[in-house]
């Protein structure tokens, strides 16, 4: 009777909990977000509480069940039966368990087998034991020999692999090559927006100019087919960036070549710097000025202003 009433009570609690869960579910947050409102948090807390309550009631129910069972049919107590004391020999037998990992790893033999290991000779009454070498050690040992044969054949007889010093040299050469490539790439990244006035580029720029540009701009940049590059007047802007851009993309419609394809951006930067350095050189037979007068706006625009900004 007790059990049944308990069951009814507990199931009542259970259904109550379930009901509260069912009620809570529709209100539960549709999608979990961090910005929970107070009601949402409360509902969530209630839900958690309901689940905990359910678990607790299940555990309690089980406990009560066991208690009720014990009340109705108590399990009889077990009687203490003292164990008969073993004699030494038998106790030893129980001790002889399997060898441990350590003994296995070192191939250790149990002390009872010591007699089998004794080497039949004695010096001053001292006997020697022939303890076996562990198998793994032997494998390793002979393995190194096999490896050595392979190694000598690969590196010293067949000369398939590089020796240490050769390897060092190859790696250094590769590093130097990588470095060269990297630096070349870093320099090549210059374009019309990053080009800077730089005196050190002028010498190379002159070579580039002599090789490519004099046919149209004259030996001193005084202008022939192309405009005079030594005056302050520019058709396409006189800043280093503008000049770079003109050279890079050209003015195909007016006969100025685009040099982007046939020249590296470094070379363009160099020749642009050379042209900037020609400013105010007043060569003979100069072509009449064309375009608009350009005045250096920024400190970086002309070589003269490179270190002393114009106020």
Q: Assess 294 for contact with ligand HEC (CB under 6 A).
A: no
Q: Assess 255 for contact with ligand HEC (CB under 6 A).
A: yes
Please state the length of the chain: 311
DSSP line for 167-183: HHHHHHHHHHHHHHHHH
Least separation in angstroms between residue 233's CB and ligand HEC is: 7
Q: Alpha-carbon distance 224 to 216, whole Å?
A: 5
| Interface region with ligand HEC, contact rule CB under 6 A, candidates 21-29, 60-68, 243-251, 296-304 | 243-251
Q: Assess 215 for contact with ligand HEC (CB under 6 A).
A: yes
Q: In the set 190, 201, 202, 271, which binds ligand HEC (CB under 6 A)? A: 271
Q: Assess 269 for contact with ligand HEC (CB under 6 A).
A: no
Q: Which two tokens stand for residue 181?
A: 């490539």
Q: Assess 266 for contact with ligand HEC (CB under 6 A).
A: no
Q: In the set 243, 269, 276, 278, which binds ligand HEC (CB under 6 A)? A: 243
Q: Tell me how many residues contact ligand HEC (CB under 6 A).
A: 25
Query: What residues form DSSP beta bridges with 56?
Result: none
Q: Assess 212 for contact with ligand HEC (CB under 6 A).
A: yes
Q: Assess 227 for contact with ligand HEC (CB under 6 A).
A: yes
Least separation in angstroms between residue 302's CB and ligand HEC is: 14
Query: What residues form DSSP beta bridges with 115?
Result: none
Position of tokens 């303890």?
131
Least separation in angstroms between residue 307's CB and ligand HEC is: 24
- Measured from the CB atom, the residue of 43 and 287 that comes closer to ligand HEC is 287
Position of tokens 């034991």?
129
Least separation in angstroms between residue 253's CB and ligand HEC is: 8
| Interface region with ligand HEC, contact rule CB under 6 A, candidates 4-12, 15-23, 177-185, 247-255 | 247-255
Q: Quick check: 278 and 303 in contact, CB under 8 A? A: no
| Residue 127, SS3 per DSSP | strand
Q: Assess 259 for contact with ligand HEC (CB under 6 A).
A: yes
| Residue 33, SS3 per DSSP | coil
Helices of type H across the chain: 2-27, 38-72, 88-95, 101-105, 114-117, 135-152, 164-188, 202-212, 214-217, 240-249, 265-277
Q: In the set 192, 195, 217, 240, which binds ligand HEC (CB under 6 A)? A: 217
Least separation in angstroms between residue 183's CB and ligand HEC is: 24
Q: Assess 210 for contact with ligand HEC (CB under 6 A).
A: no
Q: Quick check: 203 and 197 in contact, CB under 8 A? A: no
Position of tokens 């692999």?
161
270 contacts: CB under 8 Å, gap ≥ 6 = 201, 202, 204, 205, 208
Q: Alpha-carbon distance 300 to 267, whole Å?
A: 19
- The phi and psi torsions of 119 (rounded to 5 degrees) equal -80, 130
Least separation in angstroms between residue 298's CB and ligand HEC is: 18
- Measured from the CB atom, the residue of 18 and 225 that comes closer to ligand HEC is 225
216 contacts: CB under 8 Å, gap ≥ 6 = 224, 225, 226, 255, 256
Q: In the set 246, 265, 277, 279, which binds ligand HEC (CB under 6 A)? A: 246
Q: Alpha-carbon distance 55 to 61, whole Å?
A: 10
State the residues that interact with ligand HEC by CB under 6 A: 209, 212-213, 215-217, 225-227, 229, 234-236, 243, 246-247, 251, 254-257, 259, 271, 275, 291
């Amino acid at each position: 009777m007790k059990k049944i009433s308990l069951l009814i009570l507990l199931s009542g609690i259970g259904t109550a909990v379930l009901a509260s869960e069912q009620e809570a579910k529709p209100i539960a947050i549709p999608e979990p977000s961090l910005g929970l409102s107070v009601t949402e948090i409360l509902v969530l807390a209630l839900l958690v509480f309901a689940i905990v309550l359910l678990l607790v009631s299940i555990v309690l129910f089980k406990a009560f069940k066991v208690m009720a069972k014990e009340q109705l049919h108590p399990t009889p107590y077990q009687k203490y039966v003292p164990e008969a004391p073993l004699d030494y020999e038998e106790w030893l037998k129980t001790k002889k368990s399997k060898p441990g990992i350590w003994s296995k790893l070192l191939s250790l033999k149990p002390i009872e087998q010591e007699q089998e290991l004794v080497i039949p000779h004695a010096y001053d009454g001292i006997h020697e034991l022939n303890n076996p070498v562990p198998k793994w050690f032997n494998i390793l040992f002979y393995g190194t020999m096999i490896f050595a044969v392979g190694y000598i054949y690969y590196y010293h007889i067949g000369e398939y692999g590089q020796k240490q010093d050769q390897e060092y040299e190859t790696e250094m050469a590769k590093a130097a090559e990588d470095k060269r490539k990297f630096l070349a790439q870093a320099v090549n990244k210059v374009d019309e927006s990053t080009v800077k006035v730089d005196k050190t580029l002028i010498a190379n720029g002159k070579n580039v100019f002599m090789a490519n540009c004099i046919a149209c701009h004259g030996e001193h940049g005084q202008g022939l087919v192309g405009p005079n590059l030594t005056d302050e007047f520019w058709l396409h802007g006189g800043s280093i960036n503008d000049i770079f851009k003109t050279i890079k993309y050209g003015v195909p419609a007016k006969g100025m070549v685009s040099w982007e394809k046939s020249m590296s951006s470094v070379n363009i930067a160099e020749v642009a710097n050379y042209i900037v350095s020609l400013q105010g050189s007043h060569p003979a037979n100069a072509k009449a000025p064309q375009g608009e007068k350009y005045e250096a706006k920024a400190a970086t625009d002309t070589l003269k202003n490179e270190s002393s900004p114009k106020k």
